[in-house]
Amino acid sequence: MARAAYGGRRRLYDSARARGYDFSGRPGLAWSQIVLPTGAPGGLVDPERLWNSVESGGPWGRVGLAREIIMGLPRGRPLLAHAAFVRGFLEEAFVAQGRAVDWSIHYDRERNLHAHALVSPPWMGTQGSKLPERPSPEGMTAATLRALWRRHCERQGVVDGITPNQNSVGALAAACALGGRGVVTRLSQGRLALRALAARPFGNYQPPWLRVRLRRKERERGARAPRRRLGRDR
């Protein structure tokens, strides 16, 4: 319940613990949505009702079992493209397997675009009989999730969190050609900054761990040195 309240920036009440969670005043929420599997009642689109039912058991695979997934998003895309990108992955990986997903997109900072997804156990129906084609809650391992995410990114033209052709050879040649005509691009600025950093002399640079060790040795040397006692006339 706490993670559902945090992800959706909501105010939720946990019936099992008689406790409320309020993250409605926290900024950064750009998108929030709940996707239900086939056969689940439409009333579960209410997040408080959904996660209270998960924690109480009922028609879910296990009492109180849920999984949170955090996905980094590429910069330079509009919000609707991010929403379609995330929902496509969640529907393929979880909703098609009979799980409810409560997901949201956070734009906390310019370089921290990410999505939270809280995934429920598989829906077992009102009769409590599990469908054979739906896997167990433990069947989805981290390696399987990474493989699904990588395949989804490749289909959408996103590799390692960057937009397609952003750092390719063609984009680099175009940036160099524009730079020769006096046009400044973001890629050319980044290359100039890297060249300036590489040409900068390091001098007497010492890593932080070495500086800490030298200061510790100086303090130990000062503690071992005998103190001079001054006479009364001084």
Query: Residues 61, 139: contact at Cβ < 8 Å?
Result: no
Residue spans per domain, the chain: 2-156, 169-216
Per-residue pLDDT band at 184 (split at 50, 70, 90): low
67 exposure class (CB count in 10 Å sphere: 0-12, 13-18, 19+): middle
What CA dihedral angle connects 165, 72, 119 and 84, to 10 degrees? -40
0.75 exceeded by pTM: no
E strands present in the chain = 11-14, 19-22, 29-35, 67-72, 99-107, 113-122
Residues 6+ apart with CB under 8 A from 208: none
CATH number belonging to the domain at 2-156, selected among 3.40.50.880, 3.40.50.300, 3.30.930.30, 1.10.390.10: 3.30.930.30
How do residues 162-183 score in pLDDT, each as one tens digit? Answer: 343 344 445 555 556 655 656 5
Per-residue pLDDT band at 206 (split at 50, 70, 90): low
Q: What's the pLDDT score for residue 53?
A: 87
Q: Is residue 24 over pLDDT 50? A: yes
